[in-house]
Amino acid sequence: MIRIINRLTVLPRYIVVLIDQFLIFFSVSLAFLLRFNFNTDIVLEYNPFPGVVAFLLASLFSTFITKSYAGIVRYTGIQDGLRIVRTELLSMVLIVAVNLLYHYNVGRNIIPFSVVFISFFISSLLLYQYRLLVKNVFTFYKGGHRSKVPVIVFGAGVAGFLTKQALESDMTSQYKLIAFIDDDPKKNGKDINGIKIYSVDKLGELAKKFKAKKLIIAIKRLSIDRKNEIVDEALSHQLRVSYVTSFEKWIRNNFDVKEIRDVNIEDLLGREVIRLNNSAIEADLTGKVICITGAAGSIGSELARQALTFKPQKLILIDQAESPLYEIERELSGKNLQTSLVVFVADVCNKERMRRIFSEYRPQILFHAAAYKHVPLMESNPSEAVTVNIFGTRQLADLAVEFKLKKFVMISTDKAVNPTNVMGCTKRIAEIYVQSLDRYLELMGKSSKTSFVTTRFGNVLGSNGSVIPIFKEQLQKGGPITVTHPEITRYFMTIPEACELVIEAGVMGQGGEIFIFDMGKPMKIYDLAKKMVMLSGKELNKDVEIVFTGLRDGEKLYEELLNDKENTIPTHHEKIMKAKVSEYQYDEICRNLDLLEDFIHDRNEHKMVTLMKEIVPEYKSNYSRFQVLDVTS
């Protein structure tokens, strides 16, 4: 018997229809007996045969109309029950119509109306109950009788109920639900189909009592802060934490535990959904020619994805990284959008190459994301950082003016604030140049001038060189996880969120602004590493160690979004603020940049960095060979 059930996967439809018809026949027969108090003589005197046949035919017709046989019986759920009720209601309507016609022609009913109504209730109940019986038999013999891992579900609402259904219905599920926990005190002590609901503060007690191994978060809309609190509480009791990615399939009775996946660190560092001013963005981007430099990078590629949704006329992607540029081209081309996609392998420092691109395609909006960003590498190669981050930006800004671009949006970094490294200082000087250029054009009375806007934010999750992919790789290898310093702290933002804010800030900017983003609360990298270890199900210092390697060249413990002399002005978007910064004269910055360019050609790194420190007085080197320049200055 068990072997037959294990081989049987889906009950054939014709069998389902035959069983349904048998149960409907039984329901009508029982209805006749109930109507006439089980007096078979009266039943036979009434001649029930034509009525039973009519009812069976009406039910068979209704079955094929509503396809009540189509559901997989072992996945029976609420939707199947509703489909059965609809089928039987249609059968009842049809038999009532037949009854009325029969009465009109013959003078009596083919089947008593009372029998029709009794049959409706009996057949609806039997058809649904037998499906549930088959489902339970399948569940038991295909794994339900085996030992399973005890789990607790957070959320005792509709989503929690669906999670229970999924765990019980999916034959591959290794989990057994033993308790619900919920924030709503009104649910405390109640149960859902025999599974009791407890308050959240009972989590530790339940985990110990039932030897639970996992907590599943089953709430559709849970704030990031509350999610972090629940995850921290679960991890403190050595519980793995998962969540339901989507309830859509489950609502359609397609119960698959693959919709339950482990919580990862990105889920806990993300923030609430951003509300964008889509009408203003559409007005600014739709039908325009948009150019993105650094388009193969983490930020540039996401900007390209999001820009496409606003249907620009043309999207120009520029990067010197051939392979990743090819990948983003393939991805975007596969979307089959109306936007014309143009891709260039090009160096933003190649003036003639960039001029030809601008001359031929006449971009209207430029998102400048091309830059060298790795702090230790740029500390070792300062002339490259200066060439790309400063002079590449200067060249593009000048071309934007020459070809009358509407807007130039520069992507900067929090490392430009009180910089302690070459990379951060080059980005600050680039900020200074584009801002002073905007002010210069305004003073010159350029009525149709290019508007230069700068956006400044911190680390983005999952970007090239981000600590999270590095930590994941180290975890997969069994450790150790390397952290530079126990107190090192960073801001984090997801790549999509950062790009949404870049686009919003670019649209709202009128020219000359430096916009900073609300990065939320900073997080210690050590705490981040610890949480990643715990989320992976490993035990810190037993399965995986965290090793401190010391700050790298140019690194600082804490990142800032504004220096001490700066403050912010709010904008209409609660997550975007305008920085009030020290402004520079355009002629002065141009003279300094010309001198800086001479030092690059002379290959004199110390003179070059010394001049950078003069341009940006708050630039103080940290853990760097250039610290000697601060001592002697």
Please identify every residue annotated as catalytic: 415
Of the candidates 324, 294, 290, which has an alpha carbon nearest to the alpha carbon of residue 306? 290
Torsion of CA 299, 300, 303, 305, to 10 degrees: -110
Contact 399, 355 (CB under 8 A): yes
Type of residue found at 461:
L
C-alpha separations of 73 from 12, 85, 97, 201, 206 in Å: 10, 16, 31, 39, 34
The string of DSSP letters for 193-227 reads TTEEEEEGGGHHHHHHHHT--EEEE--SS--HHHH
Q: What span, in angstroms and rounded, lies between the C-alpha atoms of 40 and 444? A: 106
Q: What span, in angstroms and rounded, lies between the C-alpha atoms of 72 and 286? A: 46
Phi and psi for 548 in degrees, rounded to 5?
A: -95, 125
Contacts of 275 (CB under 8 A, 6+ apart): none
429-464 in b/e form (b: 16+ CB < 10 A) is: bbbbbbbbbbbbbeeeeeeebbbbbbbbbbbbbebe
Q: What span, in angstroms and rounded, lies between the C-alpha atoms of 22 and 123? A: 10
> Helix, strand or coil for residue 92?
helix
Contacts of 177 (CB under 8 A, 6+ apart): 151, 152, 153, 163, 164, 167, 168, 195
Q: What span, in angstroms and rounded, lies between the C-alpha atoms of 154 and 216? A: 6
Contacts of 468 (CB under 8 A, 6+ apart): 265, 266, 461, 462, 528, 532
Q: What span, in angstroms and rounded, lies between the C-alpha atoms of 615 and 590? A: 11
CB-hemisphere CA count at 13 Å for 522?
Answer: 15
